[in-house]
Amino acid sequence: MQWFLLEEDILDIDSLQYFERQGSVNSKEVICFLDKFLNSLSLSSKTNIKEKRRTVNQSNQILFLFERLGISIEDFEFINVVGTSGKGSVTMMLSECLFSARESVGAFFSPHVSSISERFWFNGSFVEPKLVAKIYDRFVSVIKNIVEDPKSVTPTFFESTFALFLLLAKESNCKILVLEAGIGGKYDVTCIPFCQKLSVITKIALDHTEILGKNVSEISRDKAGIIAENGQVLVSKNHYVVRGEISKIAKSKSAKFYSAPVVQSVKSKSNSTSFNLNFSDGSMMKNLSISMHGEHQLDNAAVVVGACKLLGLDELSIVKGLAKSRLPGRIEIVSKNPSVILDIAHNPNKIKALMKFLRTRSEEKIIFIIGFLEGKDFSAMIEEFSEIGGVFFFTSPPTYGSRRNISLDKLNNVLLEKRISDFKNYIDPCQALKDALRLSGKDDLIVVTGSSYLVGELRKFWFRDDIILQTGNPFIKK
């Protein structure tokens, strides 16, 4: 069995004293404390990630953590979702469909946009603070004891978050868990093949090349490592090279290989898109509808419907689940006059999908507020932006742990190479948004993108952190 500790975390034992409470943490503040506790796990640099993948992939650290928390993974059936783009949307749509079919289901997301609570979803809603409060003391105590034990390895941020999700799922009596992978597949913490019900692979493109591989073939093989022996895998519409690599690995593991149905008869409205699906056996599903924007979401929906069919869900549950699905920061229209769109696109493939959607809009002028992190192919993303035109406000997203912003000097050099001259630099992203709103007319469009951290920061203008923390609902406006 292979386990990958995605990011080595170092926790200052003294800082744990902050989280030691007299009695239990009350439900109004628990998620805020949880967020601070998990972020106190200081992420190390990613420069040696590839070496870690070679040296620690046989570690049973995560199983040790499960044991200490009293988690039995045999109590669950896992549906793993991996890919470069669309993992979060597919995870949400599939979970909503399962819930509509009256399954007790939990979903694990990574990353979150505004609140850590967005990583944990159970039976129709993000985690309730009172549920977190119920297990908070036990969770923190176990982590603290492991940190203080010189013979133990401190669990990573991602491991700890995933273990917490399983603990919450146990308290929620969930049987089926839909898991969005962190990075890759074969070595991801969410890869628990002996409990896997189905693996789903979304669109694959170049991203995290310093970790997963320098081309789509290598990346595809890494992500296809999620497939279980004698299991089954459903694959999204992908380049033939990607499908070929996944098919080879499925065959080597005696796993059944399935393709998503084909989208047809698309009809777009202001708040939804309807479509039909054509399956390889000649059957059809008609009059499906999603509220999430962008043509790429239709491909995600096709993957979900194919998965639902393999899982034996009825058509009414599928229709209901798709219609209810939404996630913050996915071409999210948060305001009008001027229109404001938030999108967490952070690689060329996702930016391309966003640009395709923007070409369907009719606003007079677009102001982009953009921020990138180091390690991203920002040159290729800027190339996509240059093809649509607009005014560009480049800024620095807030960062955590080892994550670093692209320096504005490096960014400006690329902008000049791409012959983009209408841009301005901002150290403060909030000031960039204020200026964009001030300079925009009612028929203009503001687009915030390039980083989930940037979207999460500026989303606070419309959705208050304290409301999200208290309710677990990221869609209640101020």
Structural domains of the chain in order of their starting residue, each with its CATH number: 9-324 (3.40.1190.10), 332-462 (3.90.190.20)
Residue 345 in contact with residue 353, Cβ under 8 Å? yes
Its pTM stands at 0.88
The pLDDT of residue 49 is above 60? no
How many helices, marked H, and strands, marked E, lie in the chain?
17, 19
Distance in angstroms (rounded) separating the CA atoms of residues 188 and 199: 13
- Highest mean pLDDT of the ranges 64-78, 88-102, 198-212, 227-241: 88-102
pLDDT (0 to 100) of residue 346: 86
Distance in angstroms (rounded) separating the CA atoms of residues 459 and 328: 9
The tokens for 153 are 């390895």
* Across 130-157, average pLDDT: 85
The tokens for 42 are 């200081």
- Please, is 95 exposed, middle or buried when counting C-beta atoms within 10 Å of its C-beta (0-12, 13-18, 19+)? buried
* Across 361-387, average pLDDT: 85
Q: For a pLDDT cut of 70, what percent of the chain falls above it?
A: 87
pLDDT (0 to 100) of residue 456: 93
The pLDDT of residue 16 is above 50? no
The pLDDT of residue 365 is above 50? yes
Report helix, strand and coil shares of the chain as percent, to nearest 5.
Answer: 45, 20, 40
Distance in angstroms (rounded) separating the CA atoms of residues 162 and 477: 28
* Across 28-43, average pLDDT: 73
The tokens for 305 are 């419907």
The tokens for 208 are 């995290």
Cα R_g (the chain), whole angstroms? 22
Give 438's contacts (C-beta < 8 A, 6+ positions apart). Answer: none
Q: Is the peptide bond before 338 cis (omega within 30 degrees of 0)?
A: yes
Task: Locate all alpha helices (DSSP H) within 24-149, ordered by sequence.
Answer: 30-39, 49-55, 61-69, 87-100, 129-148
